[in-house]
Structure 1
Amino acid sequence: MLALLGRVMVAAALAVPSPDGLSQSLDPDQGLATGPAILETGHVDVGPRFRDDTWSIQIHDDEAAPPVWRSPDEAVIRVRDAAKQEVPDDPAYAFLGAPAGTSVHVLPQTQQEGVVWLGWNTQDPGLLAQAGRGVTMNLRGVQGPGRLTVFLQSGTLGAPQVLWDSANAYPQPLWVDRNTHTHANWVFGAPGVYLIALDVTAELAGGGTATASTTLRFAVGDAAGPDEARAGTIAVASPSAPPSVPADDRGFPGWLLGVLGLAALLLIALLVSVAVRGAAVRRAAERARESA
C-alpha cells in the first residue's frame, strides 16, 4: 500500500497540466463575494487585483456559479483527508524533509477529484491595465503545525523546482509575469491550521511599484476547524518597515555611536604615534649635537 500511494503522488506531481486547464481569461465585471466561505473542491486561484484605485490580494473562486472573487480574511481553503498521500521512496523528494512513507496532505499541481485545485494568476483586467512586466509574490511567513513546501514539476523526467519552503528564511520572493496562470504542488507536513503571510508587489507600467498584503488561511485535515483558521492571526514584520536600530538616551542610533567611538580611537592612536615619532627624532638630534 505504501509503495502504491507513493507512485500515486509521483504521478500527480509529474503530470503536465493540460493547456485547457490553464488557459483562461477573467471577466472584468466579476464581483467580490462577501461572507464566510469554505473552499474545499474545484478550481481556486490567488491573485492581485486593482479596483477603485486600490491594490489587494484576493481569491478567485471558479467553483462558484458565476465565478467570484473572495477576501482571504473570509475564505478558508480546506484540505480534506482525501488529499493525503505518502512521501515516495525517491531521493528526488528529499527536499520535503520527511521520511519515505510519511503521510502528508498534498494539493497537487494537476486537478484531482474531491481536492481543491489551488494556483495563482496575474490576469485581473485591472492589474493588466496597470502593471508592467509582472509581480513579485513574496512569502513572508508560515504559521502551522508542520512544514509547508510548494514546488513545481514539469514532464515525466523534470526535477522538482522548490518555490517556497517554510523551513527556509523569510522573505522568499517569487517572480510572476503578468497574464500568468500557474498551479503547483502544495505539501503540508502535518494536519492542522496554517496561516500564510503573503505580499504581492506589482511593477507599474507608469513607473514605481504597488504592494498589497494578506494572510491565506488553510484548514488541513478533516479534523481542522475552518472557524479557527478564519479567526487566526500571524505576526510578521511589515514589508516596508525600516530595520530596528537601538538608540541611546539622547536618541543617537547605536551604529552611529559605534562609528564615532571607532573614529575617536583611531585619532588617539594616530596622535600617540606622532608623539612617539617626534620624541625619537628629538633624541636622535640631541645625540648628534653631543657627538659634534
Structure 2
Amino acid sequence: MKSTVGARGLAVLMAGAVVVAGTVLAPAAASAAEKVVLSKGHTDAVDVHYTDGKLSLKVNDDTVSPAVVRDPADVTFQVLPEAAMDVPNDPRFAFLGPAGSTIWLLPMTQDPDLLWPGWNTTTLGSGVFQGNKVRLSLVDVQGPGNVTLFTQDSFGGPIVKFRGDDGLPDAIDVPVHTHAHSNWAFGALGSYTLTFQADATLTDGGTVSTGPVDYSFVVGELPGDDPEVSLSISGMADRYQPNDTVTLDAVQTPQTDLDHYHWFSKCPGAADWSIVPGEAGASYSFTAIQALNACEYVVKLYDDDHAVAAASEPVTLRVADPPQAPGTSQTITASIDETQGALVISVDPDDRAVVLPPAQLAAGGDRWESNGELRPVTVTDTRAGQPGWSASGQIPADFTGPDGATFRAGYLGWSPRVLAQGSGQGVVAGPQVNPYVAGTGGGLGDSAVLGSAPNGAGRGTAQLGAGLRLSLPTETAAGSYTATLTLTAI
C-alpha cells in the first residue's frame, strides 16, 4: 500500500527471513484515575482483563514509565493532524473512500510521531476460557466519518477487522496471550465514540461479558486548542539572474493575528545569522547580485511579548554567473518532475532468504544462540520537499517448525547498520534491539526501526542491513523454523 498527503507516504513489502513471532507480556502496571489525552506512543487501547470472575476492558497506557492501567472513561485518544494521508489509487482500498480523498490513519507499524494503539489479552490465563479465546466486538461508532480497523497481508493487501459503515457489530476471536496492532482509519476530522465489548465462555460453560464500553477519540486538534502556528518562506526561485528582484513572503499555517516579523540572513563564511535592518513585515524584497549567491534567509514571527512564536526553515538564494558574450555559450536545462517522486523500500527478489547457522549453546549453557546477517534492504526517496522517512521491520507471527512447534518472534533481535547512502542523505541506523527477555521485553515481535532520515534530508537511495541474533530457551524443540519479516517505510 502506498499513499501520500503532502510529504507523508507509506510503502510496505514482505521479505522472507527467519525470526520469531508472538507477543511480549507487559510488566504489571500501576493504576491511575486522572483524565489524560494520549496522542503519541504505544498503548493497548482495548486491554482485556479477567479478575474475581469479572471480564473488563481497560487501557494499558505504555506512553509513560512505568505503564499505567486506566479506565477508558478517563482517556481521550487523539489522532493528530499529521496522521492525514490520501486513500491510495488501489481498488483493494476502496473501502476507505474514493482514491485521493483524505483519511487520518494510525498505522499498524509504529510511527514515533503518532499514537500506536492496539488490543491486548496477555493478562488472561490459559485454561480459563473455552478455546483459550475471547470474542472482541466493535458494537457501535458515533462520529463524523467512517472508522475502519484493518491489518495487511504479506503482499500489502488489507484484512478488515472492524468496519463501521457496513453494519455493526463486527467481532473477531482473539486468543489469550495476544498483543496485536492494526491500521485505525478515520474518515473525517472531529470527535468519535467507539464502543467495544468483550465476551467469553468459561471452561465450565458459564459466560462472561464486559458489556458495551465507550472509547473517546478526537481526530485533529482538541476542542478549544489553539493550533500551533508554523512558518515557511515562499517566493524563492531556483535561480536568479543578476539584478533580478527577489521577493520572499512569510507564510503562517494556520493564519493568526500575529504580524510582527524579523528577517535574518547568513552568507558563506559567516558564523552567525544577521538581522536584516528595517525588515519587520511579512514580505521582504531585494536585488539579486552575485555577491549574495548561496546566502541563506530565515524569518521569525513574534508574539505580543516579543517572544518567538514560530521560525521558518532557511531558504538559499542562487544567483547565476554574469552572462557570457553572445555566441560563446549555450544553455542546457535538465528537469525532474517532482510529481513523480515516491518512497520505495525493496529487497533483491533473488536475495531475500536469511538462513541462520545451526544454534549453539551459549557460554552459560542456558540458551540456544545463533547469529547471522539480514539481507540488504534498499530505501529510495525521490519525493519533493525531503520530508524524511523511517524504515522499520517486524515479525508479525511466530516462527513455525516441525510438527506444529513454534517459538515467539521476539527471540530474534538485530543491530541495524547503514551499508551505503547518497551524499548528504543523512541516513542513520536504528537502535539495537536485543532478543526478548522475560520481564524486560525486546525482540522483533514488535516493530523496530532499521534506519531513518530526518526531515529535510533522506532524498536518494540508501542501503540498510543488520546483524541478527537469535536467543532461544533450551527447551525449544529441535528442528528448522521459519518466519516472515515485514519491512515498512513511512
TM-score of the two chains, using structure 1 as the length reference: 0.68
Say which structure is richer in strand. 2
Deviation of residue 51 (structure 1)? 2.7
Counterpart contact for 1:22–1:182, Cα < 8 Å = no
In structure 2, the partner of 1:75 is: 75
Cα distance change on mapping 1:31 and 1:206 into 2, 3 Å: farther
In structure 2, the partner of 1:39 is: 38
Which letter does structure 2 place at the counterpart of 1:159? G
The aligned runs of 1:179-258 (5 Å cut-off) are 179-213=177-211, 214-224=213-223
The aligned runs of 1:87-98 (5 Å cut-off) are 87-96=87-96, 98=97
Cα distance change on mapping 1:119 and 1:150 into 2, 3 Å: same
Instruction: Measure, in 2, the Cα distance between the counterparts of 1:67 and 1:150.
Output: 24
Cα distance change on mapping 1:208 and 1:129 into 2, 3 Å: same
Identify unmatched segments of 5+ residues in structure 2.
226-490
Counterpart contact for 1:61–1:70, Cα < 8 Å = yes
In structure 2, the partner of 1:290 is: none
Counterpart contact for 2:3–2:85, Cα < 8 Å = no
Deviation of residue 141 (structure 1)? 0.6
Which letter does structure 2 place at the counterpart of 1:70? R
The aligned runs of 1:2-17 (5 Å cut-off) are 4-5=4-5, 9-11=9-11
Say which structure is richer in helix. 1
Counterpart contact for 1:193–1:220, Cα < 8 Å = yes
Counterpart contact for 1:139–1:196, Cα < 8 Å = yes
Counterpart contact for 1:15–1:110, Cα < 8 Å = no
Instruction: Measure, in 1, the Cα distance between the counterparts of 2:214 and 2:122.
Output: 20
The aligned runs of 1:52-131 (5 Å cut-off) are 52-96=52-96, 98-125=97-124, 127-128=125-126, 130-131=128-129
Alignment partner for residue 173 of structure 1, among 171, 183, 192?
171
Deviation of residue 130 (structure 1)? 3.2
**Which has the higher Rg, Structure 1 or Structure 2?**
1
Q: Secondary structure at the match of 1:73?
A: helix
Q: Secondary structure at the match of 1:190?
A: coil
Instruction: Measure, in 2, the Cα distance between the counterparts of 1:31 and 1:147.
Output: 34
Number of equivalenced pairs? 219
Q: Which moved more, 1:212-221 or 1:198-207?
A: 198-207
Show structure 1 runs of 4+ deviating over 6 A: 18-22
In structure 1, the partner of 2:144 is: 145
Deviation of residue 138 (structure 1)? 1.1
What per-residue deviation string (whole Å, max 9, x for no partner) do you get for residues 43-88 of structure 1? 1111211234432100111111101111100111111111111111
What per-residue deviation string (whole Å, max 9, x for no partner) do you get for residues 12-52 of structure 1? 6x679x9889731133x423211101111111111211234
Instruction: Measure, in 1, the Cα distance between the counterparts of 2:42 and 2:145.
Output: 25
